[in-house]
Structure 1
Amino acid sequence: MARPNSGEELGRISGYRLTGVLGQGGQGTVYRAEDASGHEVAVKVLNDRMSDDAEERRRFFRQVDLARRVAPFCTARVLDMGMHDDRPYIVSEYVRGESLERAVRQDGPRAGGGLDRLAVATATALTAIHRAGVVHRDFKPANVILGPEGPVVIDFGISRVLDHVPTQSGALGTPGYVAPEQLSGDQAGPAADVFSWAATMVFAATGRRPFGGASVPSVIHALLYEEPDLTGVPEPLRSLVAACLDKRPERRPAADDLVRTLTGGGTRTLEVAEPAARVRVPLRAILAVVVAVAVGAAVVVWPRGEPRGGPEAARTGLATGTATGPVTGSGLAGSGVEIGRPLAGHANDVRAAAIGVLNGVPAALTGSDDETARVWDLRTSQPMGKPLIGHTEWVRGVVLDQLDGVPVALTASDDDTARVWDLGGGGGSRTLRGHTGDVKAIATGRIGGLHVAVTASADRTARVWDLRTGKPVGSPLTGHTAAVWAVAAGQVGGAPIAVTAGDDGTVRLWDLGTGKAIGEPMTGHTGWVRSVAMGTLEGRPVAVTGGEDMTVRVWDLTTRTQAGAPLAGHTGAVWSVAMTNLNGRAVAVSGSEDKTARTWDLATGKAMGAPFAKHSDAIWSVAAGLVDGRPVAVSGSRDQTARAWSLGSGS
């Protein structure tokens, strides 16, 4: 890293006093600075101006906020962000030291224990980055700083941030280290970072890139069509690097696989069955290995094709974890018992979940911050078909339904669109366009003989769509004064209605036939309301909502008043709710920031059984339904998995 220039003449950016220039490049200028307490920080000011578009700025800040969630293990923490003269800036921890690129060019390649420590530290950093839902997309020797406390990875998430800035320089990455899918314009996921990590390790071990060439076009040609030159890379690193440089991203190991292998965890669990079933190791376990904590552990890998619980579970049609309790005489585990294996395959938070039936098979549909939706067989806990790829931002809402007898999936995304996917074999999707902000939720219903979707958006509106044509029906539903996060659709007194909720803390009822609000907004929650579900309670139509105030609330849709006291018990914000019926008993399911899901008897206002506490992080989404006639719930989490669990017999 270049030695900073000193001097007060550089001025200030917000509350940061600039004391020197650390470097300049295509993305921007990096300054050394001091915060208000006198601590040294690095301030990166991007070259290109950002427009006055509020939505564009909001997306930029959201991407930087994701980077702030990265655990500070071998990474330079992102501390702050803002605008200066219409240019975005990002403040991060200042790490003294030379870049790996400069060090290798000056002092030669790394070797022995130094190379091993470099590989472990940078792979651990990559695991932390991916764990936070960030893809680096420009991992290279220049972005690895050899600091006084070890190697530190910088600039993670910056390339993704540049997607939201109208830049002239672009955010492609650096030739020689960029993955093939980035060059071909395909979606760059965590596997692209693994490729770049491997190319960086080759440079560290040999002083050259794995794909050589005298010009940028020749380097790109080698990267796309030739095998890497790994001469001089020692074993066992060489074999691992070769696997990471596979031109097919689905065949590369994940970052946590790298750490496990590099630290002596072995390679036998790198892939189980297919790449989509790859076993993930929790970050806390990886770090325990890195710091050499002497703890013995056993990992059980269930045989391929056999559900947990053995032949008995296979006969019942549901895979049941033996560690979660016995199966009752009816073949149904008690409430809160996990069913089958975690639905693991998403590369980011699972934000949305739905339950339905696909070709006679009980299925779950999940939507994720990895910008995909996936369909799962709830009998086997395995994916059904390929991921639904097309959205360019987080998938926030999902629905399983049928359109004219053909199974369809519906998805809502932060890319301002919703999509209708043909799951009946015809393939393809139809895009619903019209919102001017993130589409946070989606529901389906009917207006007479018209099959419709209803979407909720950050643009403060809900909209109704003809599912057959993809065209809007009537005018937007307006009245919310902040982002609309949740929507449910159904009927009250034979009339088609929708219920919405949002950041203004209100719950609103709409007549879908007229597009008009019904009565005044329903209030009671303190703070935002992010979820709503509809059902019946003792013959009355009701809505259930969850909010920032950590409560679940029930609303009588006939009188538009709160029914009973709030359901309290969660210790974090309630992000999602669902409703179902257990042998005539109205039941709500809620998922919370406190990492638990809970089941509630709405007639008594009491919790049913113990909380479901298998997730290792916040629960963003819950859904309720039937699997082979048995009541179940599915929960989606920040831990990148969805899980199915029994709701009991309901008797």
Structure 2
Amino acid sequence: MNAEPGIPAQIDDYRILHRIGHGGQGSVFRAEDPHGTPVALKVIHDELSKDPDHRRRFLREVELARRVAPFCTARVLDVGVLGDRPYIVSEFVPGTSLHHVVQKEGPRSGGGLERLAVATATALAAIHRAGIVHRDFKPSNVLMGPEGPVVIDFGISRALDHTATMSGSIGTPGYMAPEQIENGEVTPAADVFAWAATMVFAATGKRAFPGDTVPQLINAIMNRPPVLTGVPSGLRPLIEQALNKNPALRPTAAELVKNLTGDEFHVETAPLPPTPPPPPVKKSRRPAWLAAALAVVVAGGVLTWQFWPDADDSATGEGTKITTSLTPAPVTFGKPVGDPIEVQENDVRAVALTEIGGRTVVVSGGDDNTVRVTDLNTREELYAMPGHEKWVRGVATGNLDGAEIAVTAGDDGTVRLWDLRKGTQWSNSMLGHDGGVKCVALGTVDGALVAVAGGEDGTIRVWDIHSGEQVGEPMTGHEGTVWGVGLAEVDGAPVVVSTGDDKTVRVWDLSTRQQIGEPMTGHEGWARSVAIGTLDGKPIAITGGSDKTARIWDLTTRTSIGSPLTGHTSWIWSVAFAEIGGKPVVVTASEDKTVRVWDLTTSTEIGAPLEGHTDRVWTVAVGTVAGKQVAVSGGRDETIRMWDLQPPLPG
């Protein structure tokens, strides 16, 4: 996808080539200037630029960034306005972020780590000399270019600070200085703290202040000493000084450079505070709201956080930001959990949830022909896995010989198997369909793990996952494309439930490949999706279709149950089954841009529609993240969104 709605092929003197990232600030494009020189052009999101005063402030702040001497920084070349949307043009640096490099290749060491420390400290010194504070220094804002490390996005967070909160300050958890969290004070000393935290990550592959959640990270930064295990002894004293919780006792960026390059450097330091016994309570000038927030964390309560994923972070995984305007409040059923996840570079067609090493992840596929794995707790993209040559239509997750896997279906006619711990394709593609494959599910037959897929050729096919070989003959009977497959057990036997363009829902004996009974009818249009569940102890299927309804089927008797679920104003593209507080429910995703939750015992909608997607919603799945039940949806707006499904349910 070369651009996005509202972005022309030419912006002033710059020809847009293709998008290379997008997120909460805006979209970043690779472009060319009039001489054919490659540049990076960032267009700020429309909703961040509607206020004329804010636009003027933005342009003023970016003009300051243009004064930075180009020592190890990506130069800001130009700034302008596209309609009401500001844009920034900077030097294009081919390379991968430090965050991505460490994740893929491991920590930096030896001369490579030393050069990284010098280059980034030199960049900060140049930025500070221009009267600018970076405000968001972190591993994903350091590009490992062909000529060495380059710091990007300096001054941009300041220019956009008004978009988050008029009293707080933007930053990234794990790299924010204590004073930045405590009272929003951001000075060059905060950049030095972030530099030191970044160097710890570079040297060890771990954060200086560990924590699996934002509240844990905040607590560690405010109350605990950094974890410096693995930091080389020659660098460790400087890192300790730069991570002092008192900004007045940190070295300046210029002093960092002097020390790293061999000049004499002495700074008076105070000892780091001892680790306090739990619950952590630090009596200081911390404002009341923060003390209350940390107290709620200790008590196991819930906090509301604002997240601002950065436009350049969608491919690096270090994209969760937080404002300091935190408010302790319960997250209620149906509310969004965090900001949208923006990793797919085109429509999100399929999502599935699984766990990798205790972390809940979403595996997504879409129209950018990639399969991506994203940590739902940290919002970090772990892998982007290319291979499909056309749109990825279906995703299923499972376990093979103790390893987490995903199986995907693509319009390129292939079914593919992925190792989710390594981020690589496991084996050769599974072939057999004549045309695009629209759906896939995982199950077992006689103890063997199999993939079941349906597609444009109207067939349902089965593959042995271990061998990659097709098992038996395809199941035929649908007239037109098969859009959904699900695996269930009826009377102790494995069955496949399928939906298709012929408006029918069919049940197949997975062992014999024979259709069981007559097709189930009732949908007045294409049947596009299926989910498997239980109701009153009986196996059921829930299907959604172009007639704007979802329907419930008893798989034992192959008859409809209850009334159709009505309320969507357009096609239902995806359905997912769940039990919430012991109540069986179905979650539906629709062309009408909404996600809805239904009580299967009464065939009625629970609460209000879940609204937030700005275009049709293609897919939905359910699971548990950090102990909370959630729905995860993806759509044509290229976002993945998460919704709270925790009881109590609305009446």
- When normalised by structure 1's length, the TM-score is 0.57
1:236 pairs with 78, 92, 108, which one?
78
Q: Distance in 2 between matches of 1:547 and 1:274?
A: 42
Match of 1:498 in 2: 496
Amino acid of the structure 1 residue aligned with 2:614: S
Contact preservation (8 Å) 2:383, 2:423: no
Contact preservation (8 Å) 2:77, 2:90: no
Match of 2:61 in 1: none
**2:571 matches 1:573:** yes
Match of 1:247 in 2: 94
Q: Distance in 2 between matches of 1:479 and 1:529?
A: 15
Amino acid of the structure 2 residue aligned with 1:403: L
Q: Distance in 2 between matches of 1:428 and 1:204?
A: 32
**2:12 matches 1:117:** yes
Match of 2:617 in 1: 619
**2:331 matches 1:465:** no
Q: Distance in 2 between matches of 1:304 and 1:570?
A: 39
Change in 2 beyond 3 A, CA 1:299/1:320: closer
Q: Distance in 2 between matches of 1:434 and 1:608?
A: 42
Superposition pairs of residues 40-55 of structure 1, within 5 angstroms: none
1:359 pairs with 357, 361, 365, which one?
357
Change in 2 beyond 3 A, CA 1:347/1:322: closer
Contact preservation (8 Å) 1:319, 1:380: no
Q: Distance in 1 between matches of 2:550 and 2:462?
A: 27
Q: Distance in 2 between matches of 1:363 and 1:551?
A: 30
Contact preservation (8 Å) 1:598, 1:610: yes
Contact preservation (8 Å) 1:596, 1:613: yes
**2:292 matches 1:423:** no
Amino acid of the structure 2 residue aligned with 1:247: P
Match of 1:436 in 2: 434
Residue 117 of structure 1 and its aligned partner are, at CA, apart by 3.4
Match of 1:583 in 2: 581
Change in 2 beyond 3 A, CA 1:621/1:235: closer
**2:339 matches 1:341:** yes
Amino acid of the structure 1 residue aligned with 2:450: V
Residue 74 of structure 1 and its aligned partner are, at CA, apart by 4.2
Match of 2:389 in 1: 392
- When normalised by structure 2's length, the TM-score is 0.57
Q: Secondary structure at the match of 1:622?
A: strand
Amino acid of the structure 1 residue aligned with 2:446: G
Residue 560 of structure 1 and its aligned partner are, at CA, apart by 1.1
Amino acid of the structure 1 residue aligned with 2:452: V
Q: Distance in 2 between matches of 1:502 and 1:268?
A: 54
Amino acid of the structure 1 residue aligned with 2:78: P
**2:301 matches 1:303:** no
Match of 1:53 in 2: none
Contact preservation (8 Å) 2:590, 2:618: yes
Q: Secondary structure at the match of 1:517?
A: coil
Residue 546 of structure 1 and its aligned partner are, at CA, apart by 1.1
The Cα offsets for residues 239-289 of structure 1, whole Å up to 9 and x where unpaired, read as: 966623x334879xxxxxxxxxxxxxx997999862799xxxxxxxxxxxx
**2:369 matches 1:527:** no
The Cα offsets for residues 398-436 of structure 1, whole Å up to 9 and x where unpaired, read as: 122101211111111111111111124494422211111
The Cα offsets for residues 38-91 of structure 1, whole Å up to 9 and x where unpaired, read as: xxxxxxxxxxxxxxxxxxxxxxxxxxxx99x9757646xxxxxxxxxxxxxxxx
Match of 2:285 in 1: none
Q: Distance in 1 between matches of 2:619 and 2:361?
A: 16
Q: Secondary structure at the match of 1:342?
A: coil
Q: Secondary structure at the match of 1:594?
A: coil
Q: Distance in 2 between matches of 1:470 and 1:420?
A: 9
Match of 1:173 in 2: none
Q: Distance in 2 between matches of 1:650 and 1:400?
A: 29
Q: Distance in 2 between matches of 1:236 and 1:130?
A: 19
Contact preservation (8 Å) 2:303, 2:329: no
Instruction: Identify the range of structure 1 (504-513 vs 420-429) with the bigger mean alpha-carbon deviation.
Output: 420-429
Match of 2:482 in 1: 484
Contact preservation (8 Å) 2:354, 2:360: yes
Superposition pairs of residues 395-406 of structure 1, within 5 angstroms: 395-406=392-403
Match of 2:592 in 1: 594
Aligned residues: 417
Q: Secondary structure at the match of 1:274?
A: helix
Contact preservation (8 Å) 1:302, 1:308: no
The Cα offsets for residues 441-473 of structure 1, whole Å up to 9 and x where unpaired, read as: 111111121111111111111111111111111
1:607 pairs with 605, 608, 628, which one?
605
Change in 2 beyond 3 A, CA 1:234/1:619: closer
Change in 2 beyond 3 A, CA 1:482/1:271: farther
Q: Distance in 1 between matches of 2:471 and 2:304?
A: 44
Amino acid of the structure 2 residue aligned with 1:414: D
Amino acid of the structure 2 residue aligned with 1:585: K
The Cα offsets for residues 107-143 of structure 1, whole Å up to 9 and x where unpaired, read as: xxxxxxxxx8344xx55x977x999xxxxxxxxxxxx
Residue 633 of structure 1 and its aligned partner are, at CA, apart by 0.9
Contact preservation (8 Å) 1:340, 1:379: no
Superposition pairs of residues 174-213 of structure 1, within 5 angstroms: 194-195=29-30, 197-200=31-34, 202=36
Contact preservation (8 Å) 1:443, 1:487: yes
Q: Distance in 2 between matches of 1:454 and 1:650?
A: 36
Contact preservation (8 Å) 2:173, 2:214: no
Amino acid of the structure 1 residue aligned with 2:558: R
Q: Distance in 2 between matches of 1:74 and 1:520?
A: 53
Change in 2 beyond 3 A, CA 1:371/1:426: closer
Contact preservation (8 Å) 2:374, 2:383: no
Q: Distance in 2 between matches of 1:588 and 1:71?
A: 33
Q: Secondary structure at the match of 1:632?
A: strand
Instruction: Identify the range of structure 1 (454-463 vs 416-425) with the bigger mean alpha-carbon deviation.
Output: 416-425
Contact preservation (8 Å) 1:341, 1:381: no
Residue 396 of structure 1 and its aligned partner are, at CA, apart by 1.0
Identity between Structure 1 and Structure 2 (%): 40
Change in 2 beyond 3 A, CA 1:236/1:627: closer
Contact preservation (8 Å) 2:396, 2:408: yes
Contact preservation (8 Å) 2:397, 2:442: no
Amino acid of the structure 2 residue aligned with 1:236: D
Residue 538 of structure 1 and its aligned partner are, at CA, apart by 1.1
Superposition pairs of residues 205-354 of structure 1, within 5 angstroms: 235-236=77-78, 243-244=91-92, 246-248=93-95, 274=140, 298-299=163-164, 301=170, 303-305=172-174, 320-321=304-305, 327-328=329-330, 333-354=331-352
Contact preservation (8 Å) 2:588, 2:620: yes
Q: Secondary structure at the match of 2:32?
A: helix
Q: Distance in 2 between matches of 1:276 and 1:462?
A: 48
Contact preservation (8 Å) 1:318, 1:340: no
1:637 pairs with 620, 635, 639, which one?
635
Change in 2 beyond 3 A, CA 1:595/1:415: same
Residue 581 of structure 1 and its aligned partner are, at CA, apart by 1.1
